[in-house]
Structures are given as structure tokens and as C-alpha cells.
């Protein structure tokens, strides 16, 4: 949802930063790896209960996540492999934050929250998988409202306001899996309609 609204709309605002990154020799793939490293540090901070540090690192990682694409587009350095690598490392970033939360709640022996994080992990892993698998069968499958920007924003809010984190976990646990179901249903419907016209 957020990705559809924003798209590449921030590129003009990041043009100066993109040129600076290029002058410093920072290629898009390098920025992608920096973003992953920051997310891994954020996951560690969440795991040890350093919530403020965790949410700060999530924001910084998010900046690099936006910047790598902007640099690629503004500096004409886009490539099919770069897009593939970015997608793979995004999955590591997403899942590492949830693993950090899983470790924290395991240390605190809060079983219900562990279950919620586990459900969110499954949904988060399956959202991109269902899209990739569906798009071998139909042209496009980007339906659903719990995509990566929404998930990262929710985890950031939960880390910034710790009292909100239980609500965040419920939302992630339920709606990541609802998004998977939406994509399965959409793919089924599209294939049925195609079969009817054949």
C-alpha cells in the first residue's frame, strides 16, 4: 500500500544524495549491504531489549533501503541482478528483525508473544513467496495490504513505543497471513477467469 503510494516519488529529493554516494564510490549493491548490516544491528538491539537503539537503526536502515534504489535510478546503475539481490537481502532484513523480537520474548519467557512473532515470521516469509510463485502463473500479483513498508513501519512503532509492541505483534501475526490468503485467492480467481476465456 505505502509502496504503491510513494513508488519512486522520493527520487528527486534524493538526487543530491545519490550523486554524493556515487562520488564516494558507493554503488547501489554496496548501499543494499549497508542497509542489511544496519537491520542486523537493529535485530540485535531488539533481541537485548535496547528498543530506542533498535528503532533508530531501523530508521537508518530504511534510509539506505530507499537510497540504494534512488542511486540506481538517478545514476543509471540499475541492473536485473541488482534488483534480485535487493529483493533477497530485503527478506533477510525483514526476517532478522522478527528473529530479534523472538529472541527477546524467549528470554522474557513470554510464550504468547513468541507464538505471535512465529506467526508473523511465517506470514512475512510467505508474502513474497506467494507473489513470486503466482507471477509464474499470472502476470501480476501485488495485492494485499501488509507489504514490506507497512511491516517495517509497524516494528519501528512498536520499538519506539514499547507499550504498543503487543498490538503490533497481533497486527503482524494476523494481517501478514491475511495478505498471503489474499494473494492465493487473487491468483485462483485470475486463473479461473483465464480458463473461462479459453
pLDDT beyond 70 at 8: no
Q: Helical H runs in 14-164? A: 15-23, 28-47, 51-74, 80-107, 111-134, 148-160
CA gyration radius, the chain:
18
What's the pLDDT at 194?
85
Positive/negative CA dihedral, 7, 10, 12, 17:
negative
Percent of the chain with pLDDT over 90: 62
Please give the pLDDT value at position 7: 46
Is residue 35 scored above 50 in pLDDT?
yes
**C-alpha–C-alpha distance, residues 165 and 110, integer Å:** 13
pTM value?
0.87
For the residues of 97-117, what is the DSSP string, one character each? HHHHHHHHHHHTT-HHHHHHH
Residue 38 vs residue 14, higher pLDDT: 38
For residues 10-44, one letter each, b for 16 or more C-beta atoms within 10 angstroms of the residue's C-beta and e for the rest, the string is ebeebeeebeebeeeebbbbebbebbbebbbbbbb
Higher-pLDDT residue of 55, 68: 55
- Is residue 12 scored above 90 in pLDDT? no
- Report which of 65, 77, 58 is spatially closest to residue 34, judged by C-alpha positions: 65
Residue 75 confidence class, pLDDT cut points 50, 70, 90: low
Report all structural domains of the chain as residue ranges with CATH numbers, in order of start: 14-197 (1.20.120.1760)
Amino acid at each position: 500500500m505505502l509502496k504503491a503510494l510513494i513508488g519512486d516519488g522520493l527520487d528527486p529529493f534524493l538526487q543530491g544524495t545519490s550523486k554524493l554516494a556515487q562520488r564516494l564510490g558507493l554503488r547501489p549493491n554496496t548501499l543494499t549491504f549497508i542497509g542489511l548490516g544496519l537491520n542486523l544491528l537493529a535485530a540485535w538491539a531488539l533481541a537485548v531489549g535496547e528498543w530506542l537503539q533498535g528503532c533508530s537503526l531501523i530508521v537508518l536502515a530504511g534510509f539506505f533501503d530507499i537510497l540504494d534504489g534512488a542511486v540506481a535510478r538517478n545514476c543509471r546503475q540499475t541492473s536485473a541482478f541488482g534488483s534480485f539481490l535487493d529483493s533477497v537481502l530485503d527478506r533477510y532484513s525483514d526476517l532478522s528483525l522478527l528473529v530479534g523480537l523472538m529472541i527477546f520474548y524467549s528470554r522474557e519467557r513470554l510464550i504468547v508473544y513468541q507464538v505471535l512473532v512465529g506467526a508473523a515470521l511465517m506470514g512475512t516469509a510467505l508474502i513474497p513467496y506467494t507473489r513470486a510463485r503466482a507471477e509464474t502463473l499470472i502476470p501480476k500479483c501485488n495485492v494485499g495490504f501488509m507489504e514490506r513498508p507497512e511491516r517495517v513501519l509497524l516494528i519501528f512503532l512498536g520499538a519506539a513505543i514499547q507499550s504498543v509492541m503487543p498490538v503490533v505483534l497481533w497486527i503482524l501475526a494476523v494481517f501478514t497471513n491475511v495478505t498471503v490468503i489474499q494473494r492465493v485467492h487473487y491468483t485462483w480467481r485470475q486463473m479461473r477467469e483465464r480458463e473461462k476465456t479459453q
